[in-house]
Structure 1
Amino acid sequence: MKELIVSIVKPLVDFPEEVQVTTFEEENRVTYQLSVNKNDMGKVIGKQGRVAKAIRTVVYAAGSSQQKKIYLEISE
C-alpha cells in the first residue's frame, strides 16, 4: 500500500524525494501518514480537497480486501 501511495503522489509534487509514507498499525485499523514538502501541500490537497479525496478513494478501494479499516492522513 505504501508503494501505491508513493507512486500516486510523486508525479504530482515538485520535490518527489521528500515524499514519505509512515504506517501506524493498530488492532482494527491501519493509518498511513503521507508527508510532503510544505510547498507541495497545495498540489497534494488540490482545489477544495479534490486531489486528496481522489487519492484516498484509490487507497481505500485498494485496501478494501483487508480486514482492517484504512486511513490516510496528509501532513507537512
Structure 2
Amino acid sequence: MLAGIRAQQEQAKHEHVREVARAVREVSHCLGNAPAVCRASSIDLRVFEPFEQGRTVRPALPRLAARARTLRSTLYA
C-alpha cells in the first residue's frame, strides 16, 4: 500500500514537471526564445510557486475573456 502511494506521488511529481516544461515551451515560442533563455530571463520563476500549491489562473479566465470582449468592442466600435 505504501509503495502504491509513493508511486502515485512520483507520478504526480513527473506530471507537474511536464506541465511546467510545457508552459515554458509555450512562452518561449510566443517570445521567439529558446526555452532555456526564456526560463533564465523572461519568466519570473515565482509564477510557478502558486502553481505548485495548486493555484492557477483558470478561475479568472471567464472574467478576463469578458473584459477582453468589452475592450475589443470599445476599440473597434
Same structural fold, with TM-score higher than 0.5 when normalized by the shorter chain:
no
User: By percentage of residues, which structure has more strand?
Assistant: 1
User: By percentage of residues, which structure has more helix?
Assistant: 2
The TM-score, its normalising length taken from structure 2, stands at 0.35
Tell me which structure has the larger Cα radius of gyration. 2
The TM-score, its normalising length taken from structure 1, stands at 0.35
